[in-house]
A = this chain, B = another copy of it.
């Protein structure tokens, strides 16, 4: 086909792994187990105990039972019904992956929807306390009060799961000071100070991003994100304890943590929680991310819970100088790969032979030329023409589409370099574009530039500035139904909280936050547009008390789709300065045709 010169993709697969014919026997086995347990309804969420976007195969219970492999969702199985709840990203995918004769698919606005209409009156509804948070259990109890009984129960899917994959055991890598910028000991001291301020004697950490950041370590337990799955307890005074699968506790890990933290087996966690309880400790447990089992074990043993956000999330979101240097380095490496890719795309696309899978494979190959690129940070969204309008499109061999000359191509991708994490979207011309497409593209670009140029007083939240990105689309009566930006980790998750740009992010932006800036426009059945750079919150030079953004993404923005007359002089200046910087930074790192292409692509307009 179109991309014979590239080796097959390693980071991303394109097969449809679900087989709806498995649904019937698995549902039957689960219902048998439910009957024996005296349970009328059982919940099967997508999440594992660590609530990451990716879960290891050993935790993919929702996919095992229903066939649905999306990154969010929940099933509820009763004696005679099976409901699968998904969000609007998966409206097409979910019915294609499950057996719709046996499973009713419901689109819900979020996973905190009202369960009551689906739960039979008087039913005993069981949930696995490791897979739900105290916050979500509280919500369900409120919804079902006087209607059904909700009980905690050992996981019934696990009891019938045949050939369940083993849990992942990844090598754990330590980050030295050059990359982490701060020793684990210093980070732990900072968290301990915040625990004291919150009146907590200890915290239980259950999010892998928090544990990886706090102990300066990275693993490969899940795809796309260098997570080590495990737990930790951090006392307000004294050494923290890490709870990990013993097989992960390499001599190297033991050594590196010596004097900083003790390491125990995951199976020791419940005993440790009980000990905290028996001592009557006040323990910080994040009600929106920790497993209910953690909160339950603590309170039953006598602990007082401190309901607060995981204390690592905010410090982690404020990247330090070393982390920012790594992120800038990663974006330079990514800029080189993007220049090669965009040059290749421009020469191939007009031939009308490129496929969505071929585009993913080529982009991955260009990224893998850099050996410190160890993974994609998420499955590339490669949307040709109308597929570009599917916001979270993931191409499979079944949906793969050949890009016709003249169509618009949307490519949203990112990589994990040892130095940092990237996330970039470009929307590409393949020849002529309609006046409407250029108008929409330019309004999206004006929104992205408005965020890029924004100056705002300390204390301003992402919720407050979101409208700057939308105003030009709103002026023409259109918008996009996703946030403008999400937090990005430093060689960690490509999506991380608790800051971002949308009405869901009320926390103040702080110096060192790395966020995406990605307005878009989607015309169903026709085309999709999104332009995304990563930006860093910084002190605004010359304006005391004010902050602004540094853009760290270094790849050209397609100027062929711009309706020039819609740009103000200030917007044009921003774009030209951005392109000049791309040329200055990336130009010396490429050569030959790629360099010539880049010079052209970064010319002032």
Q: Which residues of A contact B (CB under 8 A)?
A: 454-457, 461, 463-468, 471, 474-477, 479, 503, 506, 540, 542-546, 568
Contacts and interface: CB of A to CB of B under 8 A. Distances in A.
Contact of A477 (B464, B476, B506, B540): B540
Contacts of A543: 476-477
Contacts of A471: 454, 468
A540 B476 CA distance: 11
Contacts of A454: 471, 474
A468 B544 CA distance: 21
A568 B570 CA distance: 12
B479 A455 contact: no
A503 B542 CA distance: 26
Contact of A457 (B461, B474, B540): B474
A506 B542 CA distance: 33
B503 A463 contact: yes
Nearest to A547: B474
A543 B475 CA distance: 9
Contacts of A468: 467, 471
16 contacts: A454-B474, A455-B477, A456-B467, A457-B474, A457-B479, A463-B503, A464-B467, A464-B503, A465-B467, A467-B468, A474-B546, A477-B540, A477-B542, A477-B546, A503-B506, A568-B568
What's the number of copies of this chain in the assembled complex?
A: 2
Q: Which of A466, A474, A543 has the most CB of B within 10 A?
A: A474
B466 A464 contact: yes
A474 B456 contact: yes
Nearest to A542: B477
Contacts of A503: 461, 463-464, 506
A588 B456 CA distance: 45
Contacts of A475: 455
A464 to B, nearest CB: 5
A502 to B, nearest CB: 10
Given A455-B474, A477-B546, 4 more contacts: A455-B477, A464-B503, A467-B468, A477-B544
Contacts of A476: 543
Contact of A463 (B463, B474, B545, B568): B463
A116 to B, nearest CB: 13
A477 B455 CA distance: 7
A70 B310 CA distance: 41
A545 B455 contact: no
A454 B467 CA distance: 11
Nearest to A456: B474
Nearest to A503: B464
A540 B457 CA distance: 32
A542 B475 CA distance: 12
A243 B454 CA distance: 53
A280 to B, nearest CB: 15
A464 B503 CA distance: 7
A407 B489 CA distance: 52
Nearest to A450: B471
A183 B453 CA distance: 52
Contacts of A467: 456, 464-465, 467-468
A563 to B, nearest CB: 16
Contacts of A542: 477
Contacts of A463: 463-464, 503
A445 B521 CA distance: 30
A476 B455 CA distance: 8
Contacts of A479: 457
Contacts of A546: 474, 477
Which 4 A-B pairs rank lowest in CB-CB distance, beginning with the nearest?
Answer: A477-B543, A477-B546, A464-B467, A456-B474
A479 B540 CA distance: 15
Q: Which of A455, A457, A467, A506 has the most CB of B within 10 A?
A: A467
Contacts of A477: 455, 540, 542-546
A440 B362 CA distance: 52
Contacts of A464: 463, 466-467, 503
A503 B462 CA distance: 11
A540 B479 CA distance: 15
Contacts of A568: 568
A465 to B, nearest CB: 6
Contacts of A544: 477
A131 B456 CA distance: 39
A475 B543 CA distance: 9
Contacts of A456: 467, 474
Contacts of A465: 467
A465 B477 CA distance: 15
Nearest to A502: B464
Contacts of A457: 474, 479
A477 B471 CA distance: 21
A471 B468 CA distance: 9
Nearest to A453: B475
A260 to B, nearest CB: 35
A244 to B, nearest CB: 38
Nearest to A463: B463
Nearest to A544: B477
Contacts of A545: 477
